[in-house]
Amino acid sequence: MSVNPITPTISLTEAGKRHGFLRLPYSRNDSAWGSIMLPLTVVVGGAGPTALYTGGNHGDEYEGPIALQHLAAELRPEDISGRVIIVPYMNYPAFRAGTRVSPVDGMNLNRSFPGRPDGTATQKIADYFQNVLVPMADLVLDYHSGGKTLDFLPFACAHELDDPAHHAACIAAMEAFGAPYSLRLREIDNVGMYDSAVEAQGRLFVTTELGGGGTATAKSVAIARRGALNLLRHIKILPGEVEPAPSVTLSMPGDDCYHFAGAEGLFEPVRDMGDQVEKGDLIARIWPSDRTGAAPAEQHAQRSGLIAARHFPGLIQMGDCLAVIAERGA
Amino acid sequence: MSVNPITPTISLTEAGKRHGFLRLPYSRNDSAWGSIMLPLTVVVGGAGPTALYTGGNHGDEYEGPIALQHLAAELRPEDISGRVIIVPYMNYPAFRAGTRVSPVDGMNLNRSFPGRPDGTATQKIADYFQNVLVPMADLVLDYHSGGKTLDFLPFACAHELDDPAHHAACIAAMEAFGAPYSLRLREIDNVGMYDSAVEAQGRLFVTTELGGGGTATAKSVAIARRGALNLLRHIKILPGEVEPAPSVTLSMPGDDCYHFAGAEGLFEPVRDMGDQVEKGDLIARIWPSDRTGAAPAEQHAQRSGLIAARHFPGLIQMGDCLAVIAERGA
Amino acid sequence: MSVNPITPTISLTEAGKRHGFLRLPYSRNDSAWGSIMLPLTVVVGGAGPTALYTGGNHGDEYEGPIALQHLAAELRPEDISGRVIIVPYMNYPAFRAGTRVSPVDGMNLNRSFPGRPDGTATQKIADYFQNVLVPMADLVLDYHSGGKTLDFLPFACAHELDDPAHHAACIAAMEAFGAPYSLRLREIDNVGMYDSAVEAQGRLFVTTELGGGGTATAKSVAIARRGALNLLRHIKILPGEVEPAPSVTLSMPGDDCYHFAGAEGLFEPVRDMGDQVEKGDLIARIWPSDRTGAAPAEQHAQRSGLIAARHFPGLIQMGDCLAVIAERGA
Amino acid sequence: MSVNPITPTISLTEAGKRHGFLRLPYSRNDSAWGSIMLPLTVVVGGAGPTALYTGGNHGDEYEGPIALQHLAAELRPEDISGRVIIVPYMNYPAFRAGTRVSPVDGMNLNRSFPGRPDGTATQKIADYFQNVLVPMADLVLDYHSGGKTLDFLPFACAHELDDPAHHAACIAAMEAFGAPYSLRLREIDNVGMYDSAVEAQGRLFVTTELGGGGTATAKSVAIARRGALNLLRHIKILPGEVEPAPSVTLSMPGDDCYHFAGAEGLFEPVRDMGDQVEKGDLIARIWPSDRTGAAPAEQHAQRSGLIAARHFPGLIQMGDCLAVIAERGA
Amino acid sequence: MSVNPITPTISLTEAGKRHGFLRLPYSRNDSAWGSIMLPLTVVVGGAGPTALYTGGNHGDEYEGPIALQHLAAELRPEDISGRVIIVPYMNYPAFRAGTRVSPVDGMNLNRSFPGRPDGTATQKIADYFQNVLVPMADLVLDYHSGGKTLDFLPFACAHELDDPAHHAACIAAMEAFGAPYSLRLREIDNVGMYDSAVEAQGRLFVTTELGGGGTATAKSVAIARRGALNLLRHIKILPGEVEPAPSVTLSMPGDDCYHFAGAEGLFEPVRDMGDQVEKGDLIARIWPSDRTGAAPAEQHAQRSGLIAARHFPGLIQMGDCLAVIAERGA
Amino acid sequence: MSVNPITPTISLTEAGKRHGFLRLPYSRNDSAWGSIMLPLTVVVGGAGPTALYTGGNHGDEYEGPIALQHLAAELRPEDISGRVIIVPYMNYPAFRAGTRVSPVDGMNLNRSFPGRPDGTATQKIADYFQNVLVPMADLVLDYHSGGKTLDFLPFACAHELDDPAHHAACIAAMEAFGAPYSLRLREIDNVGMYDSAVEAQGRLFVTTELGGGGTATAKSVAIARRGALNLLRHIKILPGEVEPAPSVTLSMPGDDCYHFAGAEGLFEPVRDMGDQVEKGDLIARIWPSDRTGAAPAEQHAQRSGLIAARHFPGLIQMGDCLAVIAERGA
């Protein structure tokens, strides 16, 4: 059987704080003996659990990478009980390119689990998390935002799990994070997700969507940073109480929460993020991109609720997710 | 001398409303006798002035195109005194590609004036506006937003002009537009702008920046639509009074309003759009994109004022305009 | 086991006629929650068999898509006994790009069967046909033409099959189609074909090659449209008799039917499509593309027969199929 | 003033036949001191006029290059009175790429005259013909076909010229060529053409359109080869009589000969090349490329006449020339 | 099970010398029925062993292809006892593109073994060597050099093998080759190598690294040519004695032989190829590529020895192999 | 008239040493208000002349950039009399891309002089040197090497100039540089060179070619660094004597020094850099890249002399400069 060629340049277990890399040999036209170098910080304090914090699973989402750079800079081993493993740019080639999927192999890391040790670069990264890092972790926090093409209300998220105790623990961790919204997300296309891979190993798992459009704001970064510390406090790696923050509970209980564009063209949102809409309300128009004087396609709300996500770019393709309407309450 | 090959498929002068195209022959590998077809609506009512309304000068800015699709659909010749010429996607190839500059020749239409009748596609478009459409117009409104890489507070804008009467008339038109902010913008690199080309012909000229990030919102579209009608009322093409709207007056009086990134990396805004900052305040950090554990570059405010514009994407290059700080008042 | 994520937006079984899509979720850089939308028409009449009609298996072949757009527009549920499922653009991303293989994953749909539910976009499409649509069908008609790089005499085609009854039924269906030529085609590289996948499920299968060069003509479209109706009549979905049409029977009995270019350069056909040639005749020259004054490579007929197919573009690479010579008669 | 850097590797004036190149130094990333090498054959016999024969002005048109390779191989200096200069691949980078315009600078050679000695590669080629080769020539024959995106009835062509004697001489030369059709072509976009550059120097000029689709046939090559010899006989470089061939005279007297696509989508020709149509006849449909069940756009003949040219690829863009209808007779 | 579609155009077994191709059908957008044609020479003399000689495993390494073109031209069947199979451009698409990995599928042939008969083009090539050519061979010589991004001291190489007899035989063959250096190479990332595939079949295997930078010299070609003949003499396919040549024995006994760049930027080698360095010596600097006035990163020798390989291009990425230090002696 | 938009971020005249940038505003799709930032160091000491030192005129040549990074780091204002302006990466976008010409506009900076203030990025850089920096300089040193596609013997170079005093001064400066070879270079295509632009302003000008292949060595860097100091000593900006170094004088007196490839294929040098060859000697073979068993094209020396330059990559195109043979002595 193949062995994953990724090696850390620093110890994952020694006490103290170290900054280094996960080195993945990567032979290519412009470097025969090149490597992909995923930045990595490991902070090891006294006895305690291990938290694995990741950002950049998709390369165009920025709250996680920024919060994790802060955490890597600021967390002190003497302050913690346990270990924190920080990988701010998980799909590093995608992060450097500013793209959702890897420019190296065109793959979406979050649909590549469990990965392959002898596969493409993205598959090797997935395999390394699957078989090396996640097994070390008690808690995994994976930051997401909408990226360049989606926008989200800022929420932390837990998935539905079969084991009630596991489920309750994940819900509690999500609540500890303290995002303005707390959501149970049903994924549109769920094969190969990191989320499922972590949950299947019985770990606590929290994910987020903290904004979107391929940017971050001072406000969204503050949410991400507070959540990082809150979770460490929640599992007792950091001392002290979780900093409380009000959070609106949301759910997306049915397929009809998801609205897909029925035409391609110029996208006009008629209702904005966070607006309450009623079933049947006009929520968007799509104007032809090749002429004037023709009526726009109209998109109406399939159910009542809050606009919790929307398509971001000004042009839209048929079948793009145009908006997601969430219900208040679980 | 060369003749511009662009021809309108509809009359620019006959009474009534017509939707058609500006047809620009464009021979290329995938169509030897192809054309670029710029959508065009002309509405001719009773006697009165001519307004030329344009969007899509940069192809990734969307408030203008949406507002102009509405106007083209809704304006009725029987309601107007004069003529309105509407070109919602001025640099049509860029609009279709969702890019600032034209994918056809790599040119920025707003730096291509006065254009050339025998030049590239973008130069031919510029020449046609310069020599055919602008000379027909009493008032020109050119919608802009920040596009995919900048964000702006929503403002209408007038430039400083030598002729006091011309200047005052442009200021009055800007005020009539009724954007939340009203600004006198000094361009960073001003050779070849449409703005200057129009102003040099003595026309009333109003431009805007109504948001950014390569998207639009219900709110920003409403500003754009109200402004379109207000300007038509202001020059008496539409009857009735200008709809009043509160507007904060801003100016950018010096080079030090513009803050350029001193490093490349992961961009963390520390202050958000519209925030008041004082000279010396930390406004952004730039983290290394290749490692953890290294200090970020810090950017401080060069003067006090309002954050009126900022870099949008999560990654930043050295020399990118990171933020613009404006002063309240003219 | 993975479940194929494709879902139809319309019922495949309810009586009546509906136009909709097969929606395939497709996350990508320019739409995180995007979809590939394959147009689909389902016509359900009285009791009877099911026909599955497809075009656009290769994205640069046009007779099938045009004939199927006509059929989708014109077929009335009250006229038919059974069901017709129409997918005019089977490899939709390739069709939109005008390319043989998918621009999304570089794959040839007709070499991707049986597909994978958790594979690339092309593999998911193959899997959906393999496991959902083909099992519903009694008869499958898959339109092909030569595409941008080959030209064919217009023929319908049946493959040799082990089961004599199955074989005879396919031959009869091919004859019912009524193309000017009827052929038994041996494929050059036959792993992963849709043809074999359908035949292995014991369905009637007819395919065609109706021209080529990446275009269609009024004449070739007429052949495609007549064949579509004839096959429906043949299996009694439509009432009435098959419209008779004269057809020349052809075969390609040996490897030496296929002529491959022995040099790269400028391709000069010396004999045209449909010409009768004798073994040893000069059929093409290949001139050097980098100089004058050098003798061309000459290609001679390896056997006597009809020029039934040829390379289309003016430049040729070594190893390209330059011509296929068929024999009259089975 | 700049000097054109192109140099021939062989003499243009010495008696005999030589094969060589026009060498254009071309510094680029993959060859700092590289060159573009245009193949060239010069045949110099006894006293007499000079003919300049060119193909590959557009890189995806093949009858000319093939006929000129034959001529370069077969013409013997002892048989001719005068000189023949043969450049079969005029825009050599485009010819090698199989594209209409140059991959080197994106320029259409036939819209680049008079060129520039210090411009891009295409401009340098234009300048060299303008200032070196055309001034040497009494007669210029420039072969064209429709290329990959247009198809033409096979015709030779003369343009209307102000000088009656010049005009008559060009008409006579066109007739001597002996194509199945003879046409006076009005160009859609005529700035920068080689044709005009040659005619302005008072030379005899004949051009052709001998088919299209980016391929050649045995039949179209035969037309091209016969025409090459006929013209040499016509101006007495070769002895003997012009080989007579029947030719239908055509004209395109008005703008309404040219039909442009009013929609984008799947192109269905309803009438074929050479068909006689009456004003108002349906000549093509354009089906939506993104759905079934929607009516196609219909294109009707703007005047009566012959289908003399048409769009070739199966997909069409708005504004593409869909068909040209010609009148019989001059 | 799938059958590999590659077929040789010449006999691999008949006596005499033939030049031909391995033809791999390859359907693609620009040739629906195209092929990849790997040049092949087979020389069959009297009874004796079979040698399989390959170059172009990576497409940007040139000593092997040149030496094998010489050998294919010069080797005479009457001079040999046995058979020599010569494939100078093993990954032909990569060789034509001048790239390490295949432009067709992005794969590194030397990490694609054992390949797949129904995989991508590179996988099919690997499978064909694995299952057809290597089983025919007693000795395999695979030429490598550093390619465009690495430089090597010229060495022949044998790997460590478990079977002492096999190991000794490979060492003896390596010594017979007669390169200036003889090395036991530990590969950085060894899954899927041709080397291992050959060795696992119990064949004699010799590989080389004969220079680099994507070029060859008269001197390095001479080494390659001498080695080719020496090996044939060594296994008695050619008569006569191995031509003796002095060779320095090297080894790379530990991970610390390999030096990876710790920063990206402008690469300055401080010590050159073949220089003796001591542990701790400065061997390279990496200057920032975006500014002046900042200190370069410095790279020091991790052990004493000879600079046996180095990064070639002037720019370097973090994680690129910057230098390899070898020890004299085995 | 347009004003060049480039501005230095540091003073060019104040005493002391400063590191900064030449900032060129550059609006593009991925940064609407972006800039190109050319690193710049200015060292101002006591009264004295000004030297302008540049590297990276072509982006794939590395001795200059490395030597200038050293100089920028090490030169102290207190040690010099006069001023040194250092721009190590003159065509910065090309340097970052590792390409000869700019990726931004495809232009060769060294063929873009005198530039245009309102042109492309490369033209603006040329204009800024032409009109701002060169007029400030008494001496200009512009480092070149062969780049990725050529290799040179290491030489300093002076061009022939009309003014004997100017000529003599340049020769003296070239000699002071102290490269192993000293050459009078005739450029193949000399329109738009920086060299000519500087010389036409009457400045002392020295250029170099210090190796090639897109790499640098410890040895070639040492030559570059010594030359930088020697020239400063020569014009008395640095005190002390020029460090003497033996230099072989070379010339390239005729067109026949330059050997161009007569075929495309696999390039085999038969003689190496610095070898003495006699007229008629075989210097290279070019093997077909598509087959074995065909004779290579052979290239013979057109004159006797030293191999002073050669094509570097393993593949060669027709018309590439294959080798340059120089004569010893001026």
DSSP string, E243-269: PP---EEEE--SGGGEEE-SS-EEEEE
Mutation for B interface: D91, D191, D324, most B CBs within 10 A: D191
And the tokens for A181?
Answer: 């919204």
Q: Does residue C55 belong to the interface with chain D, where contact is any CB pair within 8 Å?
A: no
pLDDT average, residue stretch D5-18: 97
pLDDT at E189: 59
What's the pLDDT at A233?
Answer: 98
pLDDT at D188: 55
Is C55 within 8 Å of chain E by CB?
Answer: no
pLDDT at position E50 over 70: yes
pLDDT of residue D19: 98
Over range D24-49, report the average pLDDT: 97
All partners of chain A with 3 or more CB pairs under 8 angstroms: B, C, D, E
Closest CA in chain A for residue C39: A318
- Say yes or no for a CB contact (<8 Å) between C89 and D289: yes
Min Cα–Cα distance to chain B from F70, Å: 21
CA–CA dist D42, C90 (Å, integer): 53
- From A193's Cα to the closest Cα of chain C, the distance in A is 12
3-class SS at A60? coil
- Residue in D189, D192, D313 closest to B25 by CB: D189
Residue D320 forms contact with A (CB below 8 Å): no
pLDDT at residue B191, as a whole number: 77
Residue A1, pLDDT above cutoff 70: no
Kindly determine whether residue C217 and residue D269, on different chains, have CB atoms separated by under 8 Å.
yes
Cross-chain residue pair A287–B214, CB shorter than 8 Å: no
Partner-chain residue, chosen from B73, B151, B215, that has the shortest CB–CB distance to A293: B73
Q: Is the pLDDT of residue D261 over 80?
A: yes
Contact at CB, F111 and D27, closer than 8 angstroms: yes
Residue F29 to residue B101, Cβ atoms within 8 A: yes
Q: Which residues of D touch C96 (CB under 8 A)?
A: 289-290
What are the tens digits of pLDDT across the range A99-153?
999 999 999 999 999 999 999 999 999 999 999 999 999 999 999 999 999 999 9
Residues 251-270 of A with CB under 8 A from B: 266-270
Which whole-number Å values give the CA distances from D42 to D7, D11, D221, D229, in the listed order? Answer: 14, 8, 22, 16
Kind and range of the H or E element at C82? strand C81-87
The answer to whether residue E290 neighbours chain B at the CB level (below 8 Å) is: yes
pLDDT tens string F93-119: 999 999 999 999 999 999 999 999 999
Per-residue pLDDT reduced to its tens digit, D68-104: 999 999 999 999 999 999 999 999 999 999 999 999 9
- Residue C157 makes CB contacts below 8 A (sequence gap 6+) with C174, C182, C183, C184, C185, C206, C207, C208, C209
Tell me how close the Cα of D74 comes to any Cα of chain C, in angstroms: 9
State whether E100 and A35 contact (CB < 8 Å): no
Instruction: Using an 8 Å CB-CB cutoff, list chain B residues near A292.
Output: 19, 39-41, 68-69, 72-73, 86, 88
Q: What is the reported pLDDT for F188?
A: 55
The nearest alpha carbon in chain F to D35 belongs to: F319
Using N-to-C axis directions, what is the helix angle for C164-177 and C218-234, rounded to 10°? 130
At residue B188 the predicted structure's pLDDT band, cuts being 50, 70 and 90, is low
* F12-47 pLDDT, tens digit each: 999 999 999 999 999 999 999 999 999 999 999 999
Model confidence at D189: pLDDT above 90: no
Out of F21, F29, F33, name the one closest to residue B321 (CB).
Answer: F33
Alpha helices in chain F (DSSP H): 63-74, 92-97, 121-128, 134-136, 164-177, 194-200, 218-234
Upstream peptide bond of C114 is cis (omega within 30 degrees of 0): yes
Nearest chain F Cα distance for residue D72, angstroms: 19
Under the banding of pLDDT at 50, 70 and 90, the label for residue E184 is confident
- Reported as a single tens digit per residue, the pLDDT across B19-33 is 999 999 999 999 999
Mean of the per-residue pLDDT values for chain D?
96
Q: What is the pLDDT of residue E187?
A: 58
Average pLDDT of chain C to the nearest whole number = 96
For the segment F200-227, the average pLDDT, to the nearest whole number, is 97
Mutate to test the interface with C, among F29, F30, F264, F290 (most CBs of C within 10 A): F290
pLDDT (tens digit per residue) in D215-238: 999 999 999 999 999 999 999 999
Contact at 8 Å (CB) between E40 and F244?
A: no
Residues 215-244 of B with CB under 8 A from A: 215-219, 221
Q: Cis link prior to A114 (omega < 30° from 0)?
A: yes
* Cβ atoms of residues A320 and A297 within 8 Å: no
Distance from C-alpha of C22 to C-alpha of C91, rounded to nearest angstrom? 11
Would the pLDDT of C185 be above 90?
Answer: no
Give the pLDDT of residue B189: 59
Give the pLDDT mean for C143-172: 95
Nearest to F218 among E96, E266, E270 (CB): E270
More confident site: D329 or A103: A103
pLDDT band at A186 (very low <50, low <70, confident <90, very high): low
Interface contacts C/F by beta carbons within 8 Å:
4
Across residues D256-281, what is the average pLDDT? 97
Distance from CA of A316 to the nearest CA of B (A): 10
pLDDT, residue B110, reads 96
Determine what percent of chain C is predicted with pLDDT higher than 90: 94
**Using CA atoms in the order F91, F96, F100, F103, what is the torsion angle rounded to 10 degrees?**
-90
Q: What is the pLDDT at residue C2?
A: 78
The yes-or-no verdict on residue B127 having pLDDT over 80 is yes
Q: What is the mean pLDDT of residues A58-80?
A: 98
Identify the pLDDT of residue D297.
Answer: 97
Place of tokens 């343009």: D159
Query: What is the percentage of chain A residues whose pLDDT exceeds 70?
Result: 98
pLDDT in the model for residue F316: 98
pLDDT of C243 above 60: yes
CB contact under 8 A, E35 and C100: no
Percent of chain D scoring above 70 in pLDDT: 98
In terms of Cβ atoms closer than 10 Å to its own Cβ (0-12, 13-18, 19+), residue E303 is middle
Number of CB pairs, chain A paired with chain C, less than 8 A apart? 60
Chain D residue whose CA is closest to F212: D32
| pTM as predicted | 0.96
**F25 contact residues in B (CB cutoff 8 A):** 188-189
Chain E from 144 to 203: CB within 8 A of any A CB: 146-150, 188-189, 191-192
Q: In chain C, what is the straight-line distance between the N-terminal and C-terminal CA atoms, in Å?
A: 45
**Predicted confidence (pLDDT) at residue F202 exceeds the cutoff of 90:** yes
Do residues E92 and E21 lie in contact, with contact meaning Cβ atoms separated by under 8 Å?
A: no
* Partners of residue E290 in chain B, C-beta under 8 Å: 264, 318
Q: In angstroms, what CA-CA distances link D109 with B24, C145, F95?
A: 19, 33, 31
How many C-beta neighbours within 10 Å does residue C163 have? 11
Distance CA F66, CA C301 (A): 62
What does the pLDDT average to over D308-329?
Answer: 97
Is any Cβ of chain E less than 8 angstroms from the Cβ of A13?
A: no
Contact F318 D2 (CB under 8 A): no
The pLDDT of residue A189 is above 80: no
- Contact E23/C189, CB-based, under 8 Å? no
Question: Quick one: closest CA in C to F291, which residue?
Answer: C263
Closest Cβ–Cβ partner in A62, A273, A289 for B314: A62
pLDDT mean across residues, chain B: 96
Closest alpha carbon within chain E to A33: E321
Q: What is the pLDDT of residues D52-64, one digit of tens each?
A: 999 999 999 999 9
Beta bridge partners of F21: F39
Please give the DSSP secondary-structure letter assigned to residue D232. Answer: H
Chain B residues within 8 A of A272 when measuring between CB atoms: 217-219
Q: Is the dihedral of CA E148, E153, E154, E155 positive or negative?
A: negative
D1 vs F: CB within 8 A: no
pLDDT over 80 (residue D314): yes
Q: Which residues of B touch D188 (CB under 8 A)?
A: 25, 33
- CB-nearest to C108 from E2, E27, E36 is E27
User: Looking at residue C187, what is its pLDDT?
Assistant: 58
Residue in F with minimal Cα distance to E61: F314
Indicate whether A188 pLDDT > 60.
no
Output the pLDDT for position B253.
Answer: 87
Rounded to the nearest angstrom, the minimum Cα separation between D174 and chain A is 42
